[in-house]
Amino acid sequence: MPPVYMDQLPANVAQGVAHAIKRLLSSKHLYQNFKISVAEDFSNATEGQISEIEIKLRFTDIAFTGGQAMRTAGEALQVNLLNCETYCTRCGERKAFAPLAAVPSALDQPALPHGAHAPASQILHLKFKCQSCQTEQVDFLVTRKGERLTIAGRWPIENLSIPKYIPKELHEFYSKAIITYHAGFTLAALFYLRVVIEQFWRSLNLVESTQRTTGDEYGSLSFAST
């Protein structure tokens, strides 16, 4: 593939990548991913630009304003990150987070036959700050292989807005159930959800506190009392 230079790129490629990263961080959870969508992230692209954009997304590195990420195949896409929306532990709800810093790092590429080109592979370390409290910061680790983006890490670990009908003492278990389910660990998610249910049954005081009762027995007592 010949070198790809900035003056040869459609004008909206960098903006489309910025929109895709915002969509990933605002709508996906830990270990979830998606492919950058020409239809959703490049809505202004002309029909003649679509195939060209897809090639650039696959083989051109992402860099950020002020960064120096370069590829031997040409100059990287210089992306200005947009605000994303995520949960703020200090505010106790989802808020707008503004970008503070972004550092791209290249991943080692496997050996390929002569003349073959591997998709651009990177790790993107993205730091954001809550625009409401101006205190809480969130770091994301995003892996990129071509046009596919994956949330590979996050600090602090993801928190969720818990429905008001869930008792406060069960918030931690409920949150872990949802997070592990989103991460693809269904068995662990079911275990945490069972803990939520059993602890709720125990709070109903259907039996004497000194009596040892299994979760199944609590369930039978709960349904019998309704």
Could you tell me the residue ranges of all domains in the chain? 6-155, 168-224
For the cut 80, the answer to whether the pLDDT of residue 213 exceeds it is no
For the cut 70, the answer to whether the pLDDT of residue 174 exceeds it is yes
| HEC letters along the chain | CCCECHHHCCCCHHHHHHHHHHHHHHHCCCCCEEECCHHHHCCCCCCCCHHHHHHHHHHCCEEECCCCCEECCEECEEECCCCEEEEECCCCEEEEEEEEEEEEEECCCCCCCCCCCCCCEEEEEEEEEECCCCCCEEEEEEEEECCEEEEEEEECCCCCCCCCCCCHHHHHHHHHHHHHHHCCCHHHHHHHHHHHHHHHHHHCCCCCCCCCCCHHHHHHHHHHCC
Q: Does residue 153 or residue 113 have the better pLDDT?
A: 153
Least confident window among 108-117, 153-162, 195-204? 108-117
For the cut 80, the answer to whether the pLDDT of residue 210 exceeds it is no
Least confident window among 61-75, 118-132, 145-159? 61-75
Instruction: Give the mean model confidence (pLDDT) for residues 139-153.
Output: 94
145 pLDDT band, cuts 50/70/90, is very high
Instruction: Give the mean model confidence (pLDDT) for residues 101-125.
Output: 79
State residue 73's pLDDT score. 42
5 pLDDT band, cuts 50/70/90, is very low
Closest residue by Cα to residue 10 from 72, 68, 67, 52: 52
Q: Does residue 175 or residue 117 have the better pLDDT?
A: 175
For the cut 90, the answer to whether the pLDDT of residue 151 exceeds it is yes
In whole angstroms, how far apart are CA 140 and each of 3, 115, 156, 188, 206?
Answer: 30, 34, 9, 23, 45
119 pLDDT band, cuts 50/70/90, is confident
For the cut 70, the answer to whether the pLDDT of residue 63 exceeds it is yes
For the cut 80, the answer to whether the pLDDT of residue 204 exceeds it is no
State residue 95's pLDDT score. 93
